[in-house]
Amino acid sequence: MNLAFGSKDLIFQQELQAFLAECLPDDIRERCARGLIVGNEDLIRWQRILYDRGWMAPNWPVEYGGTDWTLTQKYIAAREFAAACAPLPTFGITMLGPVLIAFGSAEQKAFYLPRILKSEDVWCQGYSEPGAGSDLANLKTRAVRAGDDYLVNGQKIWTSYAHWADRMFCLVRTDPAAKPQKGISFLLIDMDTPGIEIKPIIGLDMGHTLNEVFLSDVRVPVKNRVGEENEGWTYAKYLLQKERSFVARVAQSRHLVQRLKRIASEQKMGAGYLFGSAEFRRRVSRLEIDLQALEYTELRYLSKELQGEPVGPEPSILKIRGSEIQQGLKQLLVESLGMYGVPYENDSMTVSDSYMEVGPDHRHGIVAEHLYGRGATIFGGSNEIQRNIISRMLLGT
Amino acid sequence: MNLAFGSKDLIFQQELQAFLAECLPDDIRERCARGLIVGNEDLIRWQRILYDRGWMAPNWPVEYGGTDWTLTQKYIAAREFAAACAPLPTFGITMLGPVLIAFGSAEQKAFYLPRILKSEDVWCQGYSEPGAGSDLANLKTRAVRAGDDYLVNGQKIWTSYAHWADRMFCLVRTDPAAKPQKGISFLLIDMDTPGIEIKPIIGLDMGHTLNEVFLSDVRVPVKNRVGEENEGWTYAKYLLQKERSFVARVAQSRHLVQRLKRIASEQKMGAGYLFGSAEFRRRVSRLEIDLQALEYTELRYLSKELQGEPVGPEPSILKIRGSEIQQGLKQLLVESLGMYGVPYENDSMTVSDSYMEVGPDHRHGIVAEHLYGRGATIFGGSNEIQRNIISRMLLGT
Amino acid sequence: MDFNLTEEQSMLRDSVERFVADHYQNTDRAALVYSDLGYSAEHWRLFAEMGWLALPFAEQHGGFGGTPVDTAILMETLGRGLVLEPYLSTVVLAGGLVALAGSEVQQADIIPQIIAGDLTLALAYLEPASGFDPSHVATTARSDGDGFLLNGYKCVVYQGPSADRFILSARTEKGVSLFVLEQGLPGLCRKDFKTLDGQWASDLSLEDVSVGPEALLGGEGLALPALEQVLGRAVSAVCAEAVGSMAAANEITRDYIRVREQFGVAIGSFQALQHRWVDMHIEAELAKSMSDALAMRLRDGDEDVPAMVHATKVTVGRAAQIVGQGAVQLHGGIGMTDDYAIGHYYKRLSIIDLLFGNQDYHATRYEALEPAQ
Amino acid sequence: MDFNLTEEQSMLRDSVERFVADHYQNTDRAALVYSDLGYSAEHWRLFAEMGWLALPFAEQHGGFGGTPVDTAILMETLGRGLVLEPYLSTVVLAGGLVALAGSEVQQADIIPQIIAGDLTLALAYLEPASGFDPSHVATTARSDGDGFLLNGYKCVVYQGPSADRFILSARTEKGVSLFVLEQGLPGLCRKDFKTLDGQWASDLSLEDVSVGPEALLGGEGLALPALEQVLGRAVSAVCAEAVGSMAAANEITRDYIRVREQFGVAIGSFQALQHRWVDMHIEAELAKSMSDALAMRLRDGDEDVPAMVHATKVTVGRAAQIVGQGAVQLHGGIGMTDDYAIGHYYKRLSIIDLLFGNQDYHATRYEALEPAQ
């Protein structure tokens, strides 16, 4: 047993830190630090910097433009990027890339992967449907062969950033007669194809990140199908597993703890400071300790993975506890504002940088991040679903 | 809307208080105040005092030796008895009496009811079986007609005070072919009938209140059946509903709060007093406030009942919250002892009055009551079952 | 002992229920939220016509002499509909202070106008460094001839943009005092903003705002007992409102999980969801009992009212969090959208948890009533 | 970074597992609990033979120079079996103090005897008014010729009846000091009792107990740093033990709810029970990570060890409560009986929550390391 990272890893970590300190633009760092959404142009600006450094796709193999980082180094990198308040990698990098690399045709890889690396394409994920949220096997969007095309009809929902996207990777039903999890195919769809209509969903935070995507007789060339027809579920499951790595979000939560402590020791509350409230203080330290436990758990699981143990319920455990800690911290951040938790403007995050000029500067972003964060226990497999997964694996009931 | 009790009720309350102050023996009050179990002889000594006063069976009609108290007065009485640390009424009074009065034959009423009032019979309840805990419909104990008798074979479990009991009221299966909830009969069994064997179950608290009761070819006269054959389930349900009134145990919990505050403000903990710990203080006040809310909820439900509204999920709500508060308070009481939560003797409650002569006097009884109290969320319909009941009534799912 | 409504109280509830059904269930609440006023002037006239604005005031001023119990009944029903009209600011808070502390002249001036629906007011009592403590006042009112010169900063004044007048706390030589200020006084600068729960509010900065002696409400330096008493009634009012909002949120959630299907069955058939809903229901039930009892205790002027105010706000605050968060979670994705009603209930319930002091504030004050040794 | 066991560590774990399987899974633990000794002298000889009693001691005293990680591996496995032998008292606590603070003479006297299994010790550091604070010592040691006269009262000394010697803290003119006392000294009076977790313990009262200068362990007045350091290792040891007990409790519970039927199905098919078990499992997983990390940090002598000690005890304490209470609840009636194993796990886990300081104590000390302004 050994807690320390090796000296090579420590040098790697310093290299990352130096890069992030020098190259991450201040305005982008500032938005991320406040939990505000980073606009598409800003995101691309940052990604071009990453691309120039060769670090755009840490999770891809070197031959496709990825890195040769070890699993430990990938972990360190994810942590350092988050600690430095860099934007998270996009769907194209985290989700589509691995699927194309594993299951795509040579042409698909040659065409799409470089475009993702160079930020020439922004991708969105067409997964959920009104009747298929937790239960993806219930997909209804139909794709029917018509010559060299599929004719796609249906509706997707909760599609993050569809309004920024050039393309969508998408699950569609190609064989309605098959069992629910069979008969699904994986298509790549250009968002400017006729028949696609995007309708914004305004969130609890009054921001626009989610969308409905309506597909009416959308023609998708058969060559845009990834892998075999009716085998899309297999690829989706592969992708889901990728999605669940590094889900604990420890570095992000640590940043929340730091913000919280800074505010609580600066914020006057009547006769004293907020941190003088023993109850508030205790709630902060409980969450800080929980976060420490989560971090060691993440490291312990990483060390099992390095040893070659197969992945079991660990990602679900990290997701459940990570999201609970995030929500707890965001709740405390809102409480730290006292009555300044009340003001809220609907365009404070995405449409413009304008925000209320009332209250202390540190309040900017906190309520929006809190509201948006209520989704952490809902999207990407709700915590109820995660508990079912763990139960199925360990109780077998 | 009106919170105050009427002046008649207030006079009634004073009368009760005066009686309890004068007539409840100090040694019995002391054992109850510490949450220790009161021995059978002591119990009977107290019941004879109640009988002389005419208050042995407040929940029975006057013509059977009960009282003419209104529902409000019964509530006040239950509260005052608990607040004065009087023993709780026994199964004969609370559970069997109402069933006999509603469904018993004239002979049964004439014979059994006076004997209960005079504490000539101690009753136990033969309900649960190894395979029928939450699911009483799964009863397996068989009763087969043999002339004027039933021949009873089977096993009961969790039978409180069977070792003190003269008789047992008991559910047995008389028609195995009927649907699970049909074919059950309600029998009155003398505990000295040949074929009955009692095996103590030692509890978590190392005390002996629970038992297994084995029945082998036990002859029970048919005249000892209450009501119709195969209709026992109906009577049992009636009894269950009686059992769930006054389940919040507010007065008992208020007594725990008082003990807790007294200990916490007397108990040195390092440099200060326990109550100087802000976290401990907050946990006490949270529970005290919860208890206040529970008490007003009990009163609000009582006022609905007085208005004639049918009983719905209210008893389950009171049971869930009441048991959670009790367990929370008992946990805090143990914590208030610091390291003196560690000593524990196995006969401190029932077999003898001897207890460790270490630690402050107030520690006596606390750990035993805490351990015994873990059962509050299990027995009498577990809290999971209570939530199912509420869900069925209100969600209809 | 009786928690049931009298006939008159039932009639009051029924009339408010009808208003909510007619004006909030089938119209576009969002349009009101984004209007300049933030609520409907037409509704406000209806409030006046129904006599609701007269409810708590004494008969000598044209009021009905209603009690905190009546206010609670009204507020609970308004809470079911997430009603936006400024009853709390104008009637409970400002009206309450005028009725309690105002001179005869001030009462005769202000109360009939409130009752007629012609005057709205807002209360400015908190400051950026005060937390939730009304006694922590840095704003000053310096004697200046007959009158006063006010300087300072007040924060998060609900209905700040639309109120005709403010009642504002400031510190004079004699202590914390209350002043009635007209909108638009020179030196009184407003920063307006929308609130999380869809209302309008303002921060106020005061620079040498000059007022005459008639602006003083109640005795100089005597504001705190009146403020505390009225804030206690306001706690009762928002707790009742929260009780109504929680009942509605639980019903909406119940109806949703009964019909929403996943894995081929209604999600309400999953035990984990059932039990979570049951826990939300239990919280709401306990909150209702405390809210009702607090209103009765306020009416009856019981001695232990302060402890009961704090205990009720703690109970209702926690219930509001559990019900609000649970309702969003049980809705899943749709709970995260602005279009669907449940999110608005969640937001209002979150705000009520902190209005007039959050759980920590009230628990601390509750404990201070019975100090540890 | 590696949480996996080395080959040597795996061998240690396997050997302890075999011991537990051979001696605790098929024999009558209750008979040991109610024996005069409270554990098995034969087992203790086995501990010596296996080298476990030598594990943490330096090679110069015949030890193996093991680290807190090795102790944690041993304790975790002992925890799975609810093993009764006094490893914690004799080896971790008393042995740890002698190794850390003892003179060469004391070390050469005591440590080889411990390793041989010939000497057991108990630590007496708490008093009725001290809470969990080792610095709060009212027991006095007055200079008396060359030696000392001890007066005072020590409470809840685990293994008090069976230990050959005590290590006891008392206050001299120079501050808190440690003394080694033989059982049976004149004026040393013992009150013995069973503990909730089935062991023997004692309160000790001291009336003019006279000891020579050689009884002083470490420098006069210098006890606290050594005590704190050894208590930190003891926290690590009991946390590891709790991790083993929780793993066992969760497995026993899993196996029970898989087979126990109600309403015609295994109760493990009810989602509410499944999710509760999952939450117990998650708590145990997090506790395991903290416990492992603490052992490594203690071994590596990291700067932030005190914070980590407090954080780990808080985490493990909460997990112990949640797992222990949940295991009893999921068992239903049978969980409430003394016959069935789960109740004994619950009791030991409850005790571990308070040994060496409960959650409140450690959270407060954690916070004190980074004071609020």
Same domain for C153 and C17, yes or no, is: no
Q: Do D337 and B345 touch (CB under 8 A)?
A: no
Report the residue of chain D nearest A8, measured CA to CA.
D1
Same domain for C285 and C298, yes or no, is: yes
What's at A258, amino acid-wise?
A: Q
- Give the nearest partner residue to A297 out of D269, D286, D300, using CB atoms: D286
pLDDT of residue A37: 87
Closest C-alpha to A127, from A87, A88, A99:
A99
Q: Do A377 and C335 touch (CB under 8 A)?
A: no
The Cα–Cα gap between D247 and C187 comes to 68
Where are any strands of DSSP class E within A157-312?
Answer: 167-173, 184-190, 196-202, 208-221, 225-226, 268-269, 272-273
pLDDT of residue B271: 79
What's at A325, amino acid-wise?
A: I
Residue B54 φ/ψ region, left for φ over 0, alpha for ψ in the -120 to 50 degree band, beta for the rest? left
Catalytic residue numbers of B, as ranges: 243
Residue numbers in B near D332 (CB within 8 A): 133-134, 378, 382
Residue A353, SS3?
coil
Residues 273-332, chain D, touching C (beta carbon < 8 A): 274-275
Residue D2 lies in a domain: no
The whole-angstrom distance between residue B239's C-alpha and the CA centroid of its chain comes to 13
Residue A365, SS3?
coil
C210: Cβ–Cβ under 8 A, 6 or more apart, which residues? C144, C147, C148, C149, C150, C185, C186, C187
Shortest distance between the Cα of C7 and any Cα of chain A, in A, equals: 38
Catalytic residue numbers of A, as ranges: 243
Place of tokens 């604990």: A248
The Cα–Cα gap between B214 and B130 comes to 11
Neighbours of B144 (CB within 10 A): 14
What's at A373, amino acid-wise?
A: G
pLDDT of residue B276: 85
- Residue B84: pLDDT over 50: yes
Shortest distance between the Cα of D104 and any Cα of chain B, in A, equals: 33
Inter-axis angle of helices B278-306 and B71-83, nearest 10: 160
Q: Choose, out of C123, C156, C159, C196, the residue to mutate when testing the contact with A (most A CBs < 10 Å).
A: C196
Is the pLDDT higher at C154 or at A181? C154
Question: How many residues are there in chain C?
Answer: 373
A138 contact D CB<8A: no
Q: Are C310 and C275 in contact (CB under 8 A)?
A: no
pLDDT of residue B36: 87
Shortest distance between the Cα of B43 and any Cα of chain A, in A, equals: 45
Number of domains in chain C: 3
Same domain for D228 and D279, yes or no, is: yes
Report the residue of chain B nearest A279, measured CA to CA.
B279
Give the mean pLDDT of A262-291. 91
The Cα–Cα gap between D317 and D309 comes to 12
Q: Are C134 and C170 in contact (CB under 8 A)?
A: no
Shortest distance between the Cα of C268 and any Cα of chain D, in A, equals: 12
Inter-axis angle of helices B278-306 and A278-306, nearest 10: 100
The DSSP element (H or E) to which B113 belongs, if any, is helix B106-117
Where are any strands of DSSP class E within chain D?
Answer: 121-124, 140-144, 147-158, 165-172, 175-182, 188-194, 200-211, 216-217, 261-262, 265-266
Q: Are A57 and A64 in contact (CB under 8 A)?
A: yes
Q: Are B300 and C288 in contact (CB under 8 A)?
A: yes
- Give the nearest partner residue to C274 out of B5, B286, B391, using CB atoms: B391
DSSP state of A123: E
pLDDT of residue C55: 97
Same domain for C251 and C285, yes or no, is: yes
> Could you give phi then psi for residue C220, rounded to 5 degrees?
-65, 130
CA distances (Å), origin B352, targets B27, B93, B205, B348, B349 = 14, 27, 14, 6, 7
Q: Do B342 and D196 touch (CB under 8 A)?
A: yes
Size of interface B-C (CB pairs under 8 A): 122
Place of tokens 């916490």: B264
Same domain for D248 and D334, yes or no, is: yes
The full DSSP string for B176-218 is TTS-TTSSEEEEEEETTSTTEEEEEEEBTTS-EEEEEEEEEEE
Closest C-alpha to B207, from B161, B165, B253:
B161
Q: Choose, out of C205, C224, C336, the residue to mutate when testing the contact with A (most A CBs < 10 Å).
A: C336
Report the residue of chain A nearest B277, measured CA to CA.
A278
Same domain for D295 and D252, yes or no, is: yes
DSSP state of C337: B
C169: Cβ–Cβ under 8 A, 6 or more apart, which residues? C124, C125, C134, C137, C139, C176, C177, C178, C179, C223, C227
Per-residue pLDDT tens digits for D238-291:
999 999 999 999 999 999 999 999 988 999 999 999 999 999 999 999 999 999
The Cα–Cα gap between A193 and A215 comes to 10
Where do the domains of chain A lie, and which CATH numbers do they carry? 7-89 (no CATH), 123-229 (2.40.110.10), 244-394 (1.20.140.10)
B268 contact C CB<8A: no
ipTM: 0.96
User: Which residues span the domain enclosing D168?
Assistant: 122-222
The full DSSP string for D262-298 is ETTEEGGGSHHHHHHHHHHHHHHHHHHHHHHHHHHHH
Same domain for D148 and D218, yes or no, is: yes
Express as a percent the part of chain A with pLDDT over 70. 95
Give the mean pLDDT of A231-242. 80
- Residue B356: pLDDT over 70: no
What is chain C's pLDDT, residue by residue, as a tens digit (373 residues)? 899 999 999 999 999 999 999 999 866 888 999 899 999 999 999 999 999 999 999 999 999 999 999 999 999 999 999 999 999 999 999 999 999 999 999 999 999 999 999 999 999 999 999 999 999 999 999 999 999 999 999 999 999 999 999 999 999 999 999 999 999 999 999 999 999 999 999 999 999 999 999 999 999 999 999 999 999 999 999 999 999 999 999 999 999 999 999 988 999 999 999 999 999 999 999 999 999 999 999 999 988 899 999 999 999 999 999 999 999 999 999 999 998 999 999 999 999 999 999 999 999 999 999 865 4
Size of interface A-D (CB pairs under 8 A): 122
Q: Are B372 and B330 in contact (CB under 8 A)?
A: no
Report the residue of chain A nearest C130, measured CA to CA.
A270
D196 contact B CB<8A: yes
Residue C257 lies in a domain: yes
Question: How far does chain D reach from its first CA to its final CA, in angstroms?
Answer: 36
- Residue A394: pLDDT over 90: yes
Q: Choose, out of C265, C271, C276, C277, the residue to mutate when testing the contact with D (most D CBs < 10 Å).
A: C271
CATH code assigned at D313: 1.20.140.10
Shortest distance between the Cα of A51 and any Cα of chain D, in A, equals: 29
Residue numbers in C near B294 (CB within 8 A): 286
C194 contact B CB<8A: no
Q: Are D184 and D163 in contact (CB under 8 A)?
A: no
- Residue A347: pLDDT over 70: no
- Give the nearest partner residue to D193 out of B341, B345, B382, using CB atoms: B345
Shortest distance between the Cα of D2 and any Cα of chain A, in A, equals: 5
Report the residue of chain A nearest D364, measured CA to CA.
A282
- Residue A271: pLDDT over 90: no
Same domain for D100 and D172, yes or no, is: no
The Cα–Cα gap between B342 and D158 comes to 10
Residue numbers in C near B293 (CB within 8 A): 286-287, 289-290, 311, 315
HSE, CB side, 13 Å, CA atoms: give it for residue A54: 7
The Cα–Cα gap between A167 and A91 comes to 11
Per-residue pLDDT tens digits for A328-342:
999 999 999 999 999
Inter-axis angle of helices D68-80 and D7-23, nearest 10: 30
Give the mean pLDDT of A279-284. 94
Q: Do B293 and C290 touch (CB under 8 A)?
A: yes
Residue B168, SS3?
strand
Q: Do D155 and B274 touch (CB under 8 A)?
A: no
Q: Do C281 and B394 touch (CB under 8 A)?
A: yes
Q: Are A31 and A41 in contact (CB under 8 A)?
A: no
The least confident of B200-209, B230-239, C124-133, D198-207 is B230-239
Is the pLDDT higher at B243 or at D329? D329
Q: Largest alpha-carbon pair distance within chain A? A: 76
Where are any strands of DSSP class E within chain A?
Answer: 123-126, 142-146, 149-156, 167-173, 184-190, 196-202, 208-221, 225-226, 268-269, 272-273
The Cα–Cα gap between C320 and B85 comes to 36
Q: Do C4 and B321 touch (CB under 8 A)?
A: no
Same domain for C288 and C345, yes or no, is: yes
pLDDT of residue B3: 86
pLDDT of residue C371: 62
Residue C2 lies in a domain: no
- Residue B368: pLDDT over 70: yes
Residue C1 lies in a domain: no
Residue C205 lies in a domain: yes
Collect all residues from B whose CB is shorter than 8 A from any CB in A.
278-279, 282
Strand partners, C176: C171
Residue C29 lies in a domain: yes
CA distances (Å), origin C351, targets A93, A310, C38, C158, C317 = 39, 46, 17, 12, 9
Q: Average pLDDT over chain B, rounded to whole? A: 92
C368: its two tokens: 């201070």
A221: its two tokens: 């060339």
Residues 330-389, chain A, touching D (beta carbon < 8 A): 384, 387-388
Same domain for D274 and D190, yes or no, is: no
D263 contact C CB<8A: no
Q: Do B277 and D132 touch (CB under 8 A)?
A: no
CATH code assigned at D148: 2.40.110.10
Residue C113 lies in a domain: yes
Shortest distance between the Cα of C248 and any Cα of chain D, in A, equals: 25
Residue numbers in D near C274 (CB within 8 A): 272
Same domain for C61 and C129, yes or no, is: no
Residue C195 lies in a domain: yes
Question: Predicted confidence band at B240 (pLDDT cuts at 50, 70, 90)?
Answer: low
Give, in degrees to the nearest 5, the angle at Cα B233 between B95 and B239: 20
The Cα–Cα gap between A346 and A352 comes to 10
CATH code assigned at C28: 1.10.540.10
Q: Are D283 and D318 in contact (CB under 8 A)?
A: yes
Q: Are A279 and C359 in contact (CB under 8 A)?
A: no
What's at D281, amino acid-wise?
A: H
Per-residue pLDDT tens digits for D16-51:
999 999 999 866 888 999 899 999 999 999 999 999
All partners of chain D with 3 or more CB pairs under 8 angstroms: A, B, C
Report the residue of chain C nearest A128, measured CA to CA.
C333
Residue numbers in C near B397 (CB within 8 A): 257-258, 266, 268-269, 274
The residue out of C119, C135, C163 marking a domain boundary is C119
Report the residue of chain A nearest C326, measured CA to CA.
A374
Strand partners, D176: D171
Q: Do A304 and D3 touch (CB under 8 A)?
A: yes
The residue out of C77, C94, C119 marking a domain boundary is C119
pLDDT of residue B351: 35
Per-residue pLDDT tens digits for D164-179:
999 999 999 999 999 9
Report the residue of chain D nearest B266, measured CA to CA.
D129
Give, in degrees to the nearest 5, the angle at Cα D165 between D159 and D167: 85
Q: Average pLDDT over chain D, rounded to whole? A: 96
The Cα–Cα gap between D116 and A149 comes to 82
The Cα–Cα gap between B187 and B195 comes to 16
Size of interface A-C (CB pairs under 8 A): 134
pLDDT of residue A240: 67
Q: Choose, out of D269, D273, D275, D278, the residue to mutate when testing the contact with C (most C CBs < 10 Å).
A: D275
The residue out of C169, C204, C222 marking a domain boundary is C222
- Give the nearest partner residue to D314 out of A289, A297, A303, using CB atoms: A289
Give the mean pLDDT of D357-372. 90
Strand partners, B378: none
Express as a percent the part of chain D with pLDDT over 90. 94
Residue numbers in A near B278 (CB within 8 A): 278-279, 282
Place of tokens 């976290």: B279
Same domain for C277 and C191, yes or no, is: no
HSE, CB side, 13 Å, CA atoms: give it for residue B367: 28
